[in-house]
Amino acid sequence: MSMETKSGSIWLSPIRRLRDAIKGFWSSDESLKTSASNDAQVPEEESSNARATEKAFSSAPRLNDELFVLYKPPDGLPYDTEIIFVHDLYTEGSKEAWRTTWTNDDGTCWPREFLGKKFPSSRILLVSYDACVITNSTQGRMDSLSIVAENMMGNFFLQSGNVGQTKNCPVLFVGHGLGCFVIKNLMIKACVRYMCNKEEKTKLLRNVGGFVFYSPFNSGVQWDLYADESRQRNSLTDCIRPHSAELSRLNEAFRSLRRRMQEMRKSRVLWSVLTICESHETASRTRGRSQRSGTYVSEGTSRVDCETFHFGVGDHFHVCKHQSTGDVGYQFLENRLDFILKSYRKSRINSIPKFDPTSIENYLRTIPSLELFRDLSPCRIPSYNYGSYNYGSYNYESYNSHNSHNSHNSYNFTVHHGGWDEI
């Protein structure tokens, strides 16, 4: 009887067990290599698209900490339009939200492939900023919209970025989720610099063409996709709560600013907003737990303060991932951008006047009374006190929004007119 056979069963010596383990390792390794090779060869078209997208992102020059150039005119030709994309919140496990947000299911970076062909003389920029929902030693350190926007504006105006500084070059902003409010905050901060009569900072405002917002949660959301995250939450996520005071103030400031700029430019198209809302239910993003699905950003909260509203295709995370130029959401986007650019070039170029207090006071006199405002906005949070409306003296100063979690949120766009404050 063999030494390896005892009592009708097979006994393997330690040496043989080691030999078989080594053989099994090499066999599985070869199998994995073969399998990976086959997987790469079967979907040839998808693989080609993925490689092209990876090449596009790897070749995207990084202008500074927050800006990547996704597309620019070939052969060193100058650009006459800037299109800037700003992403949403992301989870701790996500990486490079600045590019994955705008990459569709087949790996195509659609802003480059679709918009680059439609607007070949444009410069397309992707913004990267810290919007992680979890705070740890390396992520989630930007804990307020104001800080995010302030940092972004600094990167915009660096010589490496030079965003909005080219004469007669319209700037179009595209935001998703939280990115919409980063853009709004950025505009408010630029407006404050304009009010201070710093001519070198007025160029961005003069060049703003319009905005496209994907699923903006203007009055918050009814359920939190990230509620089950076990680690410390970034206070930046506080603004997604229903009826966030911070978000309400920001929305009021942005609405007022847009109306004022449209009057100055004598155009209802410039500084206009197109909103594209998600149409499908969204699954929660927390890993390792039972997932919940439901409507994340509803029609009611995303319709606020926009000239045009449409439903797109997909849930919250896919509504901005256009699969083709035939995608209804993409067609809305492309048509809107084209319309804004034509209107911009027909308007009086650089028509924003120098800061004129008399002009601002005349504008304030056109604002409806408090009673009418309450009738039009019955759901407004009651904690805002507008006081009495009169035609007294006025001045500009910073408005600081303080809440129990954060004392850094300032919008710097408050018009004091007697006892009446418009934020």
Which CATH number is 269's domain given? 3.40.50.1820
- The token pair that represents 249 in the structure block: 């103030």
Residue 23 lies in a domain: no
**Of 337 and 43, more confident:** 337
**What mean pLDDT is reported for the chain?**
75
User: Residue 20's pLDDT is what?
Assistant: 59
On whether residue 12 sits in a domain, the answer given is no
- Amino acid, res. 146: S
Q: What is the pLDDT of residues 48-80, one digit of tens each?
A: 444 544 555 555 788 988 899 999 999 989 999
Q: State residue 196's pLDDT score.
A: 66
Categorize the per-residue pLDDT at 371 as very low, low, confident or very high, splitting at 50, 70 and 90: very low
For 189-201, what is the mean pLDDT?
72
Pick the range with the lowest mean pLDDT from 57-61, 241-245, 261-265: 57-61
What sign results for the dihedral spanned by CA atoms 187, 193, 194, 199? Answer: negative
- Residue pair 297/304 in contact (Cβ under 8 Å)? The answer is no
From residue 186, alpha-carbon distances to 265, 269, 410 in Å are 19, 20, 11
Query: Cα torsion at 405, 190, 164, 352 (round to 10°)?
Result: 150
CA 336 – CA 40 distance, rounded (Å):
38
- Is residue 283 domain-shared with residue 188, that is, in the same domain? yes
Residue 36, pLDDT above cutoff 90: no
Q: Is the separation of the CB atoms in 88 and 131 below 8 Å?
A: yes
**Cα 227 to Cα 354: distance, rounded to the nearest angstrom:** 47
- Distance, in Å, from the CA atom of 236 to the CA atom of 143, rounded to the nearest integer, reads 5
pLDDT at 197: 54
Q: What percent of the chain lies above the pLDDT cut of 90?
A: 43
For 140: left if phi > 0, alpha if psi spans -120 to 50, otherwise beta; the answer is left
Q: What is the DSSP track for 359-397?
A: HHHHHHHTSPPHHHHHHH-TTS-TT----------EEEE
Say whether 245 sits in a helix, a strand or coil.
helix
| Co-location of 225 and 266 in the same domain | yes
- Considering the domain architecture, whether residues 107 and 195 belong to the same structural domain is answered as yes
Widest Cα–Cα separation across the chain: 110
Q: Are residues 322 and 366 in the same domain?
A: no
Q: Is the pLDDT of residue 84 over 50?
A: yes
Q: Do the Cβ atoms of 247 and 285 come closer than 8 Å?
A: no
Domain membership of residue 279 (yes or no) is yes
> How many whole angstroms separate alpha carbon 69 and alpha carbon 320?
19
Residues 289 and 379 in one domain: no
pLDDT exceeds cutoff 70 at 393: no
Q: Say yes or no to pLDDT of 418 above 70.
A: no
Q: Does a structural domain hold residue 1?
A: no
Residues 362, 334, single domain; the answer is no
pLDDT for 185 beyond 80: yes
Q: How confident is the model at residue 217 (pLDDT cuts 50, 70, 90)?
A: very high
Distance, CA of 350 to CA of 222 (rounded, Å)? 42
Structure tokens that stand for 119 in this block: 């607007």
Residue 135's pLDDT band (cuts 50, 70, 90): confident
Please identify, among 300, 322, 346, the residue that sits at the C-terminal boundary of a domain. Answer: 346
- Provide the residue range defining the domain that includes 407: 357-422
State whether 414 and 266 are in the same domain.
no
Cα separation of 297 and 219, whole Å?
A: 9
Which residue type, as a one-letter code, is found at position 342? K
User: What are the residues whose beta carbons fall under 8 Å from the beta carbon of 95, sequence distance 6 or more?
Assistant: none
pLDDT at position 104, please?
95
User: Which of the four pLDDT bands, split at 50, 70 and 90, describes residue 222?
Assistant: confident
Handedness of CA 185, 224, 218, 334 (dihedral sign): positive
Q: Kindly state the tokens that stand for 396.
A: 């500009």
Q: What's the pLDDT at 234?
A: 82
Domain shared by 121 and 235, yes or no = yes
Same domain, 285 and 383: no
CB 16: neighbour CB atoms within 10 A? 11
**Of 136 and 380, the one with more pLDDT:** 136
Better-predicted residue by pLDDT, 17 or 364:
17
Mean pLDDT of 363-389: 41
pLDDT at 421: 31
Question: According to the model, what pLDDT value does residue 347 have?
Answer: 75
Q: Domain check: are 70 and 170 in the same one? A: yes
**Do 263 and 412 share a domain, yes or no?**
no
Whole-number pLDDT of residue 129 = 92
Q: Which residue has the tokens 């408090």?
A: 370
Neighbours of 72 (CB within 10 A): 19
Per-residue model confidence as pLDDT tens digits over 111-129: 999 999 999 999 999 999 9
pLDDT at 297 over 90: yes
Q: Tell me if residue 274 falls in helix, strand or coil.
A: strand
Tell whether the model's pLDDT for residue 156 goes beyond 60.
Answer: yes
Domain count, the chain: 2
Residue, of 191 and 336, whose pLDDT is higher: 336
Q: 354, 351, 349: which is closest to 169 by C-alpha?
A: 349
Label residue 159 by pLDDT band (50, 70, 90).
Answer: confident
**pLDDT digits 0-9 by tens, 316-327:** 999 999 999 999
Whether 231 and 282 map to the same domain: the answer is yes
For the chain, helix, strand, coil in percent to 5 are 40, 15, 45
Q: What is the pLDDT of residue 423?
A: 26
Q: Cα(82)–Cα(184) distance, rounded to whole angstroms?
A: 17
